[in-house]
Chain A
């Protein structure tokens, strides 16, 4: 199942700089997108979401951008902090269709923020 893809397995950035995590999807029925952060031995923690009727959503240091024509979304973290080091998952759902609530996940990107 490659409907949601995160092509970068890892990303390393300096503290204070911007982190940009990318995600591509193929299913045009997806209309709700989420980013989760995961620390080892913990479950995914919800960060931010965006509906397909928007192209940007911002919450503090986190901004998600959605480009529907390219079927691409990205998560920007500014400024990055060492505590942001974790695995970041992109997820998508087809809320308006039959798969109400079911999330399809990407493979995850390991973000490391260096002091």
Chain B
């Protein structure tokens, strides 16, 4: 069964550094998402992406965050200047249409020191 893959599984970064989290969505999917889960808290929506542009973003997704689909397969989340509070699990998801079940990757654990 096709799956969403995320790399790396764990990223450790110094505060203030830039980090790029990578995702390969399911190949025929058109809608892409990033969510995060801070330890002990809910899974929170960050951003949705369709047709090479952001469809919606949450309040969390400020100017430090950006997303890109640099080629036909990858979908990336960049955090320009990381803060301690960015430490969380980041999940990528995709679906074929906006109102179909989203399929999630196994996440990247981001640790900011």
Contacts and interface: CB of A to CB of B under 8 A. Distances in A.
Q: Tell me the dominant secondary structure on chain B's binding face.
A: strand
A90 to B, nearest CB: 11
Interface in B77-113: 91, 93, 95, 98-99, 101-107
Interface stretch (A19-27, A39-47, A74-82): A39-47
A89 B35 CA distance: 14
Contacts of A71: none
A103 interface: yes
Contact of A103 (B4, B6, B45, B50): B45
B48 A102 contact: yes
A43 B91 CA distance: 7
A85 to B, nearest CB: 18
Q: Tell me the dominant secondary structure on chain A's binding face.
A: loop
B12 interface: no
A99 B44 CA distance: 14
Interface residues on B, range: 20 to 34
A106 B103 contact: no
B14 interface: no
A44 B45 contact: no
B101 to A, nearest CB: 4
Nearest to A6: B42
A36 B48 CA distance: 19
Chain B CB within 10 Å, residue with most, of A43, A102, A106 = A43
Interface of A: 1, 32, 34, 36, 41-46, 49, 89, 91, 93, 95, 98-108
